[in-house]
A and B are shown apart, each in its own frame.
Chain A
């Protein structure tokens, strides 16, 4: 079977990583675009949230697709990391790094931190099991005011700190992950690689700045 060949080859295994990572990164970018409706005020983001929920089954297809991608990404990420460690049982007494980066060397740690953050984030804003008491931002009928929920949350400094930490992990992960994906998918050559390494860093920085603006601007009272 084709799929078996994919598992057996080193490149096949990497393709699972790259494709799932690309899907997740695509979601991360789209999610930020959606979130910026926050800056257009209460009506805008509540309308956006309502539109999303109106999608019904389509929304669920997206959610399941993302969950699948995350499962593949985490499983292969842990598996490949264990394999790679086993392939290098012993390092050098004298170390000299020439080309790799902190981000590349810590992919598994930034990834696991991201996983923890994603779980918290879902419990916080999607399932509303942690953080503020939901009665603070829902009306008597249980209708949630998304704008109020976000703004009240990010008035709490521990939450702002936690989100900053999660976003730092995202930045670290993507600062290597984006350019790495292009190389894995073969969309690279001698001229493109140095450019892509810079562009990947810039894209990761842009995502960091975009996402960070939400808790920070809210905390400092610029969104209310």
Chain B
């Protein structure tokens, strides 16, 4: 099939950038979306033009590096699927496809479709961890965890930190991402000791990094390739309420 692409091209962080038309010809429905772009890039390179710059790494939907908004939807039209796992059979001959980078103040565009997502790393550094004093290896099953809690923690741990939730949010909020990290640790006994300081530090850092506030549009959940539920945002809000009485002045 043949497709018309409208791709965001931007030389660097300070360039204004604009959409550029590209043709993708003889695209096989079995190709992945990124393979289709690889072919377009091969053609561009042969013509002596600059290829389209985009992020990718594992290409199997687990690393969270690929990041493209396709026809207005982060990761494209297929539910719970990353761009790298999206296949061209989702499209049809003659389609016009808009490809844009994640948009949020906290994610400045570096070049074309690549944005700087280190703001999310700094949110994790603020509290998305448990402090472990090393020593002897603890006995397996010494700490009992109810199955339901373990399952919920695993659901939250599915987050691959891709940032699609931020890209989808009309407020550029990272609340779904933060709630997945907070929820994952809140459900496990190892996460409880630091639960109060974690939820405060992470939601404060979220604002400091220039993300917006959640106003319950739920666009994040609809775009998340891992199907992280907004129930984790409610859980984060509960964790915050629980933390309030424990806070010391700063």
Contact = CB atoms under 8 A, between A and B. Distances in A.
Nearest to A188: B234
Interface of A: 1-2, 4-6, 8-15, 80, 83-100, 104-105, 107, 176, 179-180, 183-190, 193
The 10 A-B pairs at the shortest CB distance, nearest first, are namely A96-B72, A87-B212, A186-B238, A84-B171, A87-B172, A100-B217, A186-B237, A98-B222, A94-B98, A188-B234
A94 B100 contact: yes
B249 A10 contact: no
Given A94-B72, A98-B73, A183-B230, A83 B216 contact: no
A190 B223 CA distance: 17
A180 B216 CA distance: 6
A179 B234 CA distance: 12
B250 interface: yes
B179 to A, nearest CB: 10
* Majority secondary structure of chain B interface residues (helix, strand, loop or mixed): mixed
Question: Which range holds the interface residue count of chain B?
Answer: 35 or more
B215 A11 contact: no
B72 A84 contact: no
A202 B146 CA distance: 37
A184 B237 contact: yes
Contacts of A179: 216
Given A80-B215, A92-B103, 18 more contacts: A9-B203, A11-B236, A84-B215, A87-B171, A87-B173, A87-B210, A87-B212, A88-B169, A94-B98, A96-B71, A98-B223, A100-B170, A104-B216, A180-B215, A185-B237, A186-B240, A186-B241, A188-B234
Interface in B194-250: 199-200, 203-204, 206-207, 210-219, 221-223, 229-231, 233-238, 240-241, 244, 247, 249-250
